[in-house]
A and B are shown apart, each in its own frame.
Chain A
């Protein structure tokens, strides 16, 4: 299986400050159709996961533009330009290029 490694696993952030989460895959995520199916999910406390970003950098509708995704091949990043209180939760990257689809361990974002 493709191993997804996130860092850091815990991210205390000051309100209004930027945050960045790294996600690395053990294999290239380029699919046979040329796309990279690397996605980011947010899971707020007590809630189910919510998709934020798909295909590396496409934001879901309704997701604030302070969230952005970037990367290629095996190295990906989720950035929050200015953290707000509602951003508290656990963030997961997930690859959908090779079955079994796999998630990173999760990064817990909390307010300092």
Chain B
């Protein structure tokens, strides 16, 4: 069974930095691109970043490019999102999701990041 478990979400002040993790199990992690998708409170879904299976290719939404860095450790079966220069607009539940070409077939339960002073 595919399992994705996010962690690292906290209450943090504007301007701060944070690293989210997503522990994957139940599938061959290195064989799949992975994504981070966020959902602001009471709002819709936004694709934030993606990374290829071997980590060689990364993609970012304009809203986070230059501030966030996606990475993965295929030995530890873990996906990361390093977040910097955080603002209140980054407050959201952050989900990691597995990509099947052109779609996201498995999602974690999410981790809440709250940016507030």
Contacts and interface: CB of A to CB of B under 8 A. Distances in A.
Contact of B102 (A39, A41, A92, A105): A39
A61 B36 CA distance: 23
Given A49-B107, A51-B103, A101 B47 contact: yes
A54 B50 CA distance: 19
A3 to B, nearest CB: 12
Interface of B (DSSP majority class): strand
Interface string A79-112: 0000000000000101011011111111000000
Contacts of B101: 35, 37, 96
Given A49-B95, A101-B47, A96 B108 contact: no
Nearest to A50: B107
Contacts, number: 64
Size class of the B contact interface (CB-based, 8 Å) = 20 to 34
Bin the interface of chain A by size: 20 to 34
Contacts of A55: 102-103
Contacts of A102: 47
Given A39-B103, A104-B44, A105-B44, 13 more contacts: A37-B103, A49-B37, A49-B45, A49-B104, A51-B103, A51-B107, A54-B105, A60-B105, A96-B101, A100-B62, A102-B47, A103-B44, A103-B45
Interface of A: 1, 31, 35, 37, 39, 41, 48-51, 54-55, 60, 92, 94, 96-97, 99-106
Interface of B: 35, 37, 44-47, 50, 59, 61-62, 95, 99-110
